[in-house]
Amino acid sequence: MTRFNGEALSRETAADGEEEEWKEEEWKKEEKKEDSRDAREAIIELDDVAFGYTATPVVENVSLRIDPGEYVAIVGPNGSGKSTLLKLVLGLLRPDRGTARLFSQPAHQFDDGSRIGYVAQHASASKSMPITVREVVKMGRFPHVGFGRLGASDREIVEEAIGTVGMSSFADRRITALSGGQRQRAFIARALAGEADLLVLDEPTVGVDADSVAAFYDLLEALHGQGITIILIEHDLSAVTAHAERAVCLNREIYFDGPTDEFTPENALARTMGATAEPERETT
């Protein structure tokens, strides 16, 4: 979502009164849109965040707001701080400077894990772990049941989530016996079973074949259409421009934040991917 630059607009002088009036109306409309957006609960708000594992920052000067229902791709080269930014967003790391808020709470204190579905490239378990798709999807219900057992309604939700991602016939298969694309669908089903408002995917299509990647993005688009907020870490730029609504280009700092259709023409890509130009914070 392109940030509205009211100051720049006000500096422009209109040639005639009609145009000035039109601009004034546009300005008011944009301001109204900003106000209504501010009134909603932002999913994510980063304000001047900086973080480094050592003295050298991995990310810095990062300000970002993601609203409900957005489909945002965070792109950048290897080592650009994408995964670190994701950890800051999810509260797994605390910023050295600035603030990170998740669902209006400080991210590191956020405790309603059921609102977030997380899909990584791989699970951390050994490949020999005999665990079925259904057992993985059930994990999505764990934040809801705590130390209790899953009830009939939980099991119903699990089956529905498995069906949503087209994995019903694979529910009793070991997840390690599935292809990469099928595994990722199972992880998305886990997020759906948790009834997550926010789906966070960390390079989910690495090692997945082309056909499965296409089906995977179809699924994401369908879920986005149902109102789920999606944050996608990706370095396949063609996938980003083809599917996401908004791109955030990161290489330690944010070089571009706007609609994906404005992404390439802005030349942000070259700067994000390693050119030496001075960072340009917001592009409209």
Partner 1 sequence: MIDALVVPMQQGVFELLLSPLFWILEAWYWLLVQVYHVTGLEMLSPDYRFMYRAILVGLCIGIVAPLIGTFLVHRQLALIGDALAHTAFAGVAVGLFLNAILDLGVSPYLTAVVVAVIAALVIELISEVTDAYNDVSMAIVLSTGFALGSTLISINAGGLSVGIDQYLFGNLSTVSPTNAVILLALFVAIVGTVAVTRNQLLYVTFDETAAAVSGLSVNWYNRILVMLTALVVVGAMQIMGVILVAAMLVVPVAAASQLSRSFTESIYVSIVLAEAAVLLGIGVAYYGRATGGPVIVLVAVGIYVIAVLAGKVRTALTGQTAPSTGRIEVNRAPSTGDKHE
How near is the Cβ of 15 to partner 1 at its closest, in Å?
50
Q: In this complex, which beta carbon is closest to partner 1, that of residue 137 or of residue 268?
A: 137
Angle at 241 between CA 38 and CA 46, to 5 degrees: 30
Side-chain half-sphere of 22: how many Cα atoms within 13 Å?
8
The two three-digit tokens of residue 59, written as one number: 């990310």
Q: Which of 93, 266, 240, 214 is nearest to 230 (CA)?
A: 240
Among 34, 54, 30, 52, which Cα is nearest to 42's? 34
CA atoms of 47 and 234, how far apart (whole Å)? 22
The token duo for 254 is: 């944010």
CA angle 121, 52, 233 (to 5 degrees): 25
Q: How far is the CB of 28 from partner 1 (least distance, A)?
A: 35
By C-beta, is 20 or 112 nearer to partner 1? 112
Binding footprint of partner 1 on the chain (CB under 8 A): 90, 92, 110-114, 116, 118, 120, 123-126, 128-132, 134-136, 139, 141-148, 151, 153-154, 156-157, 160-161, 163-170, 172-174, 177-179, 181-182, 185, 187, 190, 192, 194-195, 200, 211-212, 215, 218-219, 222-223, 226
Q: How far is Cα of residue 187 from the mean position of the Cα atoms in its chain?
A: 15
CB of 229 to partner 1, least distance (A): 14
Least Cβ distance, residue 237 to partner 1 (angstroms):
24
Which residue, 100 or 268, has its beta carbon nearer to partner 1? 100
CB 149 within 8 A of CB 155: no
In the β-sheet with 97-102, what is the strand arrangement from edge to edge? Answer: 59-66, 44-51, 97-102, 105-106
Q: Which is nearer to partner 1, 126 or 238 (CB)?
A: 126
- Least distance to partner 1 from the beta carbon of 24, Å? 41
**Chain centroid, CA 203 distance in Å:** 11
Closest CB to partner 1 among residues 61, 176: 176
* Rounded least distance, CB 226 to partner 1, Å: 6
61 or 68, CB closer to partner 1? Answer: 68
**Closest listed residue to residue 133, CA positions, set 102, 90, 166:** 166
Identity of the amino acid at 162: I
The nearest distance, CB 66 to partner 1, in angstroms, is 16
32 vs 122 by CB, closer to partner 1:
122
Residues 6 or more apart whose Cβ sits within 8 Å of residue 128: 176
Q: Which is nearer to partner 1, 10 or 109 (CB)?
A: 109
Report angle CA 141, 112, 250 to the nearest 5 degrees.
Answer: 105
Whole-number minimum distance, CB 31 to partner 1, in Å? 33
